[in-house]
Structure 1
Amino acid sequence: MRVTSSMYYHSLYGTNNSKINNELFDVNKQIASGLKIQYAKDDVSTFTQTMRLDNEVTTLGQVKKSAESGYKVANQSDVVLNEFETSMNRMRTLLLQAANGASNDISQDAIAQELKGIKKNLKSLANTSINGQYLFSGSSVNVKPIDDNGIYHGNDKSMNAFLGSNNQEQYNLTGSELFLGEDHNTKREITSNIVNNNLIDGGVITTDNSIRDFMGDIDNDKNTVNKNYFYIRGTKSDGTSFKKKLELNDTAKVSDLLADIGKEYGNSGNLDLVNVTLNSNGEIVVQDKQHGSSKLDFHMVGAVDFDGTGKANVDDVDALNSGESDYNKVKDDNDGDINHLFVHEFITSGLKPAAGAADKIEGIVYDRTQFSKNGSKLSSNVTQVLKADNAFASPSTKISEVADLSKGNAGTLDGTVLNLSGKDISGNDYSYEIHLEKNDSADSTKNGSYFTPDGGTTKYHIYDMDPNGRKAVDADEMTYQQLMDTVNMAVTNNLPTSDTADEYDTAIQKSDVDGKTELSYDGKITFSDQTSSITKASIALYDKNSDNFTKDASVMTFNSNNALTISDPKTDFFKTIDEMIASVSDHTNYPDAKNANHRTIGIENAIKKMDDLQSHVSRMHSKVGAQSNTLNTSLERTQLLEVSTMTLRSSVIDTDVAEASLKLQQLTLNYQAMLSTVGKVSKLSLVNYL
């Protein structure tokens, strides 16, 4: 076959020209765009790697942004808590100054004023915001967390920064944790509030003194040994209640009384569950040795009958109301009050007793007391705490989750009767019994819980909300909401017109217009009168067996003349601050019911509360610090990963300009050489042709 010029031209120029032009186009495109490929078809492997790395860069960018945002909040919280702790250190210093024996009323008043100023600053810090969003409101960042009364209005929801797949970190500290948090390692400690002196020799009573020194002796005749009776009530750390009458002779020691009190809390020779001691004011202090419980409570009244007629030995403490709480009056045979029954109070709260309860000697009443009144609001003072986890009760909580089921019919609330009495919003007397009863289809006598006028026969059943058929609620299924609905109907005088579920619902709706019965943030029952700014209503709610010492202790307690709290696992930040300030304002080093404010904890106890509060805030500060460090570490790591990933991506997809430029030069030279060769061949062919 003859090779023609056409064939030679096509082989040398046509094929190479197309190839070199494509390569020149590609390399110019790489240099112009900075990318090795433009489309997946250019290089599937490179395209796949690039897409994967692009996704990683995007994810790292999101993590970086989230971590930066969270770090700002955590870091600002850290800064605020630094100021918190500085202010609290100053408060503790002032409390120590107030407790100093050289401090007089004038200096304590000045200290109280400075404490109020610090409290104001603490509230301001608590309401710190960034860009209009509050730091300590939980997820409700637009809600001001602390109001003027120190009440928290945020929620307990945490907010988390996204730090990668299945990796999140909380970056906020909720006010629920900071201001109302719980420290499970804290042990509850409570105290009586009446100063106990040696009635024989004077001075503050000690554990080595005799019961005779403690309770007195009108004739100073040591040969006549009087019998002393102590009626104690309270709650153990596991939530079970107790009620006991102790008998001690004059010759027993005060330490014997304290030991007997300890036994009622479960102390034994091998194990002590509580410490029962006297403080320097002769007041009884009970400290829980089990941590994490807010249930411990205590009440005691003592009685001695100096004429030997047995008036001090009673089954119902109401009978002690015929005695005298002023020992000097009992001792004076010429005052016309010669009953010789001395009733010794150990705790006085200032609460009014329920109708029908003893009202002369306030201290003998334990839980048959009226809710405190403040304007249109009535409030109980006993927190409803779940036995299982020490949490506050909520409206949906079953009463059986809080009540002491070891009493009455063991294991059930069936048969428990609560008394509800007082005045309704119109000022009229009311008195009801709330019967907690089983609803047993197999027993016609057990058809659910109900309430009835005291001494009456009309029954108003308390209905459940079962959509498959309404029936009276079983005792053990009854909730706080159902109990509060009953209270609300009684106090507003809106009762069902007949004993049906529909009329029951109608009565609840009507009563909700006139009043609101609710659980407060700290688990206490409250009633608000919707019809008046100063309510005429009153409420007393208590176990029917309350003060009868031949029967079981109260299954439940709602409002009581109980001991003062010194330490507790549950924190109530601004309420505690108020207690501290009140102690300094009242000029009291220890609780003293003789003061106008019976519930003042005293400066010494305020210092103890401050120690607990500082410990709690320090733990919260440590948590915030840990959050801040974690977020900062994550941010730094993410920044490094972002740089590393982008570098790797660049190596995969980005053009090496130097390499591409060199290739361009090589291709250009090749192309020029090809053109030169083609030109020479073309000329040779033309000469030959000529």
Structure 2
Amino acid sequence: MVERTTTASQYRDLTENIRRASSSVNRALLEITSGKRILAPSDDPSAVQEIQSLKITQLRNDQFLSNIGSALDELSFVDTTIDHIELTLEEARKQAVAGLSGTTTAESREAIAKQLDSLKAQLLSLANTSFNGKFLFGGTASNSAPFTQGVGGVVSYNGNANPVFIRADEQTLVQTNVTGAELFVGPPDVFAALDSASAALRADDENQLRTALDDVSSGLSQVRLAHSAVGATISQLQNMQEALLQLDVNLQEQAARLQDVDLIEAATRLNQSQRALEAALSAGGRIIRLSLLDFLD
């Protein structure tokens, strides 16, 4: 009776040893193949909670990066468009100066006036530039062309002066638009200035042409000022983007330290567990042989 009880106890111990060793082997294999030390929330509840917090932060960070990326794409297009606006106004100024040379004829003044009319049309097209289905210079009224030309060639602004902001990080809102009011309406109104210059040339009115030239020059200055602000915003967003990308790397590294398995340590545990399993199986074989001999005796 004692021998049978001892054998039963040995079997129970053997079974438990094999179960534990086998579980350890399987655990180590799962960690190595998955690369993760946390396979279930119960493995390390505090680490799981911290990882979830890091993931939430990373999701917000990714949204900020998306906001900045979209804004930079649009601002790059705005920057290029304002380059063309500057060039157009510089040419208009050059033509107006030529009209004041003192050597013009009625024919040459008409030619200059027509050139200014053409530059005005070019400027109107630039003022109604769109990007990804949105008009760039209408403020928040971006679904329709901000500038229209009516009777007598008068250009009207139908947009607004409202800024457009993006959330660039937890604390920072950044304005990402330039309105047509800032660029073209002023004062001075560059479209009205070009109309006035053309009319002055056709009427051979030097005083009016000088006033129009001053307005074109002032309009060019206001465009350059807006252009400088766009460049500063692009630089600010690029710096913030770089910081957020680094933060993204840091968040991934923190999560990896919490969750990723130490492959060397896991391989060592696997080796130890395999030896323990082999030892338990070997012990089981000896117990079975002894039990069989006892039975035969």
Taking structure 2 as the reference length, what is the TM-score of the superposition?
A: 0.89
1:653 aligns with 2:259: yes
- Give the root-mean-square deviation of aligned CA atoms: 2.1
Structure 1 residues 154 and 666: alpha-carbon distance in aligned structure 2, compared to 1, 3 A threshold? same
> Which deviations, in whole Å up to 9, do the C-alpha atoms of 1:434-458 show, x marking residues without a partner?
xxxxxxxxxxxxxxxxxxxxxxxxx
For 1:87, what is the secondary structure of its paired residue? helix
> Which deviations, in whole Å up to 9, do the C-alpha atoms of 1:314-362 show, x marking residues without a partner?
xxxxxxxxxxxxxxxxxxxxxxxxxxxxxxxxxxxxxxxxxxxxxxxxx
- TM-aligned CA deviation for residue 156 of structure 1: 1.7
Asked if structure 2 preserves the Cα contact closer than 8 Å seen for 1:70 and 1:160, the reply is: no
Hey, what's the Cα distance between the residues in 1 that align with 2:198 and 2:17? 97
Q: How many residues are paired up?
A: 290
Give the match for residue 48 of structure 1: 49
Q: What is the correspondence of 1:190-209 to structure 2 with a 5 Å cutoff?
A: none
- TM-aligned CA deviation for residue 7 of structure 1: 2.5
1:163 aligns with 2:164: no
Give the match for residue 10 of structure 1: 12
Hey, what's the Cα distance between the residues in 2 that align with 1:69 and 1:166? 19
1:577 aligns with 2:194: yes
Asked if structure 1 preserves the Cα contact closer than 8 Å seen for 2:184 and 2:219, the reply is: no
For 1:4, what is the secondary structure of its paired residue? helix
Aligned equivalent of 1:178, options 183, 198, 201: 183
Whose strand proportion is higher, 1 or 2? 1
Hey, what's the Cα distance between the residues in 1 that align with 2:269 and 2:184? 70
Q: Supply the AA of the counterpart residue of 2:168.
A: L
Q: Supply the AA of the counterpart residue of 1:616.
A: Q
- TM-aligned CA deviation for residue 573 of structure 1: 2.7
1:145 aligns with 2:142: no
RCO higher in 1 or 2 (8 Å CA, sep ≥ 6)?
2
Give the match for residue 619 of structure 1: 225
Give the match for residue 117 of structure 2: 116
- Any unmatched runs of 5+ in structure 2? none
Give the match for residue 130 of structure 1: 131
- Any unmatched runs of 5+ in structure 1? 182-569, 591-601
- TM-aligned CA deviation for residue 658 of structure 1: 5.0
Hey, what's the Cα distance between the residues in 2 that align with 1:643 and 1:180? 45
Asked if structure 1 preserves the Cα contact closer than 8 Å seen for 2:193 and 2:213, the reply is: no
> Which deviations, in whole Å up to 9, do the C-alpha atoms of 1:539-578 show, x marking residues without a partner?
xxxxxxxxxxxxxxxxxxxxxxxxxxxxxxx332322222
- TM-aligned CA deviation for residue 22 of structure 1: 2.9
> Which deviations, in whole Å up to 9, do the C-alpha atoms of 1:158-185 show, x marking residues without a partner?
211211213111111122222234xxxx
For 2:147, what is the secondary structure of its paired residue? coil
Hey, what's the Cα distance between the residues in 2 that align with 1:654 and 1:160? 39
- TM-aligned CA deviation for residue 143 of structure 1: 1.4
Q: Supply the AA of the counterpart residue of 1:617.
A: V
Aligned equivalent of 1:609, options 178, 192, 215: 215
Whose helix proportion is higher, 1 or 2? 2
Hey, what's the Cα distance between the residues in 1 that align with 2:72 and 2:238? 6
Asked if structure 1 preserves the Cα contact closer than 8 Å seen for 2:182 and 2:222, the reply is: no
Q: Supply the AA of the counterpart residue of 1:643.
A: V
Taking structure 1 as the reference length, what is the TM-score of the superposition?
A: 0.40
Give the match for residue 40 of structure 2: 39
For 1:117, what is the secondary structure of its paired residue? helix
Q: What is the correspondence of 1:69-468 to structure 2 with a 5 Å cutoff?
A: 69-148=70-149, 149-181=154-186
> Which deviations, in whole Å up to 9, do the C-alpha atoms of 1:591-620 show, x marking residues without a partner?
xxxxxxxxxxx2222222222111111111
- TM-aligned CA deviation for residue 657 of structure 1: 4.4
Aligned equivalent of 1:668, options 267, 274, 284: 274
Q: Supply the AA of the counterpart residue of 1:610.
A: V
Q: What is the correspondence of 1:503-652 to structure 2 with a 5 Å cutoff?
A: 570-590=187-207, 602-652=208-258
Q: Supply the AA of the counterpart residue of 1:615.
A: S
Asked if structure 2 preserves the Cα contact closer than 8 Å seen for 1:34 and 1:657, the reply is: yes
For 2:174, what is the secondary structure of its paired residue? strand
Q: Supply the AA of the counterpart residue of 2:8.
A: S
